Every structure is written in C-alpha cells, then in structure tokens.
Structure 1
Amino acid sequence: MSGTLSMELEEKDYEFCGHPLRITMFKGASLGVSSYVWGPGVILCRYFEAMKIDFTGKKVLELGSGTGIVGILAVLLGGDVTMTDRPYVLKQIEYNIVANVPPSHRHHTKISALAWGSDQDKFQPDFDVILGSDLVYSPTQFPGLLQTLRYFCQDKTIIYLCSDVKYREGSAKFHNEMVPEQFNSEVIHTSGSSCVFKLTRKIPGNSTSF
C-alpha cells in the first residue's frame, strides 16, 4: 500500500451480531460510489442481526460489494462468500477482508471481478444466497443487473436486496415494476426510505415444453 494512498484512507467502526468491524474506505482512489459505506448496506447488516441470520453451509454471492461490509459479515455468520465488483474495487475489498476476517476463516472468502450483464457467465450459478445493497441507483445499469440476477437465481436461491427507494433514481420503478415481472418479490424490512427485498425465482405456472 503506497504512502500516498494510506493518507487517503478513512476508517469507520461498526458492530453487528457481536462482530466488531473496522471498514476502510479508499477515499481519493478514484473508486467513486464504491469508496463509501452506504446506508442500505448497514441496514442489511442490521436486518441479519435482528433476524439472527445464519449463513453456515451456504454458498453466498455478493454483487457490488464496494467496501465488502455486507459480504464480510456474511462470512463471519458462517457463509462461504464470493464478493464481486469492478476490477478497480477489488483491492479495497481485499484490504477489509484481511482487517476483519480471522486467518482461520479466510478460506471462506473469494474476491472476483463481475460486471453485471457481461461477466456472470464466467461463474457457476450454484449459489444459495445472493446479496446486494444500494445496487439500484442508475437506470442504465438496470438491464445488466436484472440479467445477472436472473442468471444466478435458481429454484432454491434467495436474493436479499436493500435499496433506498426514495432517494435513488428509478429505484421505486425497478422494485415495483421491473423486478416483479421476473421474480417473486416481497418487502421484508423497512428503515427510513430503505427497504430490504427478498426475491426468489418466478416459475411460470403454465409453461409448456416442446
């Protein structure tokens, strides 16, 4: 880590489910929105805490990991977690994994680049749980995000998305109109203007095979 970059690091302390986390944001490293811990990520972590979610034995994929705060908590709650984002964000995720995941558990983590709508085919669609927080903020990204979610969402997959439905452009339309066309979707938690959505695969009732 260069000395210049170290001067641009900002740390924040959190605690979820009895696990203290120190999350470092690479401010000034041209990561854009990825160098922040956004409210929906914290809300999703608080939801896991409130519901005493246990990811033991689950294969978990996080989309748009950013700082990695949600994926790291999923690891500490027992999951085998693949954290993904754009290539230039991966160093930040790695830094926070090293800082927060004990060496004895790091084999339960994986970091990979994944651009929505183009990279998903490089992965096996065998995840039990998909996580995403504050992914829904740019309508230009919606088609790729939906394509990626469809690819990974198998019959028994559960998707947890936390979105700010009031202050993110197009978020309400995405969740209220676009998602229900392709997934079973329900709001399972609200906090302020953010909602946690649970999505599962929608299986057509009257499909016909030829």
Structure 2
Amino acid sequence: MEELSLAGSLSMLSEMRETTSEISGQRIWPGSYLLAEYVHANPDIVTGKRVLELGAGTGLVSLVARLAGATSAIATDGDLDVVTDILAWNVQNNAATNATLGSIDTTSLWWGDASSNEAFRDRFGSNPFDVIVAGDVLYKGELVPLLLSTVLKWMHTAHGTFFLCHIPRADVSHEVLQHELLAHGFSFEVVLDHAAIGTQDAARLPTDCAIDDVIKAKVYRIIHTNVTT
C-alpha cells in the first residue's frame, strides 16, 4: 500500500495488488498522477460537475475530483479485474473517510464496445457528463480513436470538457494525438507542459513516476469545436 500526498491535507491510498490480467491498471501511471495534481490545483474545473474517468486504473483522478467538489464521479476501466479489485478497493476505502462529499462509483467500460456502453447507460442513464478525465491511457495507436469516440458519446456537447494528460508511448506522439483530436471534431489547448520540471518538482513524485516520462507530459483541455469558451 502506497500513500500519496498531493498536498498537505490530501492523502490518497493505492493498493498495488498483482492479481489483475493487465499491468496497465496495476500501478499509478505518471500521467494519472500529474492529472490528479492538476485537478487538485484547479478545483473549479470539477466543482459542482458530473465527472467521468476513462481508463481509471487505481481511480486516483476520480478520487481527487470528488475531494475537489465534483457532485459525482464515475471511475471506469476496461479491465474487469481492475474494476473489481484495485479500483473498488481504493474507492471504498477512500470514500468511506469522506462520506459527506459527492458520490463515486466504479464500473467497467470498454471504449468503442456497443454492449459495454449499453450496460453503462442502463446503470447510470444516458445524460452526458460535464467533465471527462483520462491520464496516461494511450499506450498504443489503436486506442486513440476508441478513446475519442467514447468521449464524443459521453461528453456534454454544449459545455463538456475533456482533460487528458498524455505522455507519448509507442506510436502515439503528441503530434499524432493532436491530429486525431482535430480529425474527430475537437479543439484543444495545452494547459500544462511538464518539459521544464525542476529537481524540486521531481522530488515530490511517486517512485513509479519516471522523470523521463514526466518531462514529456502535457495536460490538454479539449472541447467540441462548436463550443464557445
């Protein structure tokens, strides 16, 4: 069990049990931690809003969003073992200590899978989300259109915002991601670039967050092109 302090008054617990079928959900990836930090530093982006996390893994970003004032958060992952083990454990143990905050749920959601999306709709309804978050989830190229189609399906068209922390992995460079965002009808801005991270900043990061990954990270604010800001 690892305790993560994003700020003096904020402590997150993550149980790293190796019983899942895929390593992607068994650790806190750097992009997930950096996005959680961004949400914690900018609580207004989730305060009073419904939040959906895609590729949640440990659920860190959802838990931070709830602490930051989200009215509800749903942490999803495509690996059912992750959902029933590490994600459920983290949510249950952290949510129990802050029972007065907004609701938080966990469930499986396969990007681009019709039956998975239907099951999600049956459980949570068809209302779109104000904010969608995802951190460090694009580690192979075929995931990009699946992620973006899922965002298009579940993000509120009129005022929804998608916050993505991306670290280039495999063939998914920032240039590839940006091209796909535009091709799917999104506009974007980079709201945080970690290229200039210093030694003191690096010292605060969890042991799993390799500095070589962190300096490549960018946090994107993404909206539909027909949304006026």
TM tier, shorter chain?
0.7 to 0.9
| Aligned ranges 1:123-202 → 2 under 5 Å | 123=121, 124-153=126-155, 154-165=157-168, 167-181=169-183, 182-191=185-194, 192-202=215-225
Question: Which residue type is aligned with residue 188 of structure 1?
Answer: V
Bigger proportion of residues as strand: 1
Contact 1:142 1:174 in 2 (8 A): no
Question: Could you tell me how far apart the structure 2 residues matched to 1:59 and 1:51 are?
Answer: 16
Question: Which residue type is aligned with residue 160 of structure 1?
Answer: F
Residue 14 of structure 1 corresponds to: 4
Normalised TM-score (structure 2): 0.77
Normalised TM-score (structure 1): 0.83
Instruction: Report how far residue 129 of structure 1 moved.
Output: 0.4
Q: Does 1:63 align with 2:54?
A: yes
Contact 1:129 1:157 in 2 (8 A): yes
Instruction: Report how far residue 120 of structure 1 moved.
Output: 3.2
Task: Give per-residue Cα distances to partners, 1:70-104, cap 9 Å, x unaligned.
Answer: 11111111211011112221121110012212261
Question: Could you tell me how far apart the structure 2 residues matched to 1:73 and 1:23 are?
Answer: 13
- Return 5+ residue gaps in structure 2 as ranges: 195-214
Residue 88 of structure 1 corresponds to: 81
SS in 2 for 1:96: helix
Change (3 A) 1:52 1:203: closer
Root mean square deviation, CA, Å: 2.0
Change (3 A) 1:14 1:98: same
Q: How many residues align?
A: 193
Deviates most, 119-128 or 133-142 = 119-128
Contact 1:62 1:82 in 2 (8 A): yes
Question: Which residue type is aligned with residue 96 of structure 1?
Answer: N
- Return 5+ residue gaps in structure 1 as ranges: 1-10, 205-210
Change (3 A) 1:90 1:168: same
Change (3 A) 1:64 1:95: same
Contact 1:90 1:113 in 2 (8 A): yes
Question: Which residue type is aligned with residue 109 of structure 1?
Answer: I
Choose the corresponding residue for 2:91, options 73, 88, 97.
97
Question: Could you tell me how far apart the structure 2 residues matched to 1:171 and 1:20 are?
Answer: 32
Contact 2:40 2:65 in 1 (8 A): no
Question: Could you tell me how far apart the structure 1 residues matched to 2:68 and 2:135 are?
Answer: 17
Question: Could you tell me how far apart the structure 1 residues matched to 2:53 and 2:172 are?
Answer: 22
Contact 2:20 2:82 in 1 (8 A): no
Instruction: Report how far residue 125 of structure 1 moved.
Output: 4.2
Residue 3 of structure 1 corresponds to: none
Change (3 A) 1:190 1:108: same
Q: What percent of counterpart residues are identical?
A: 24
Instruction: Report how far residue 105 of structure 1 moved.
Output: 4.3
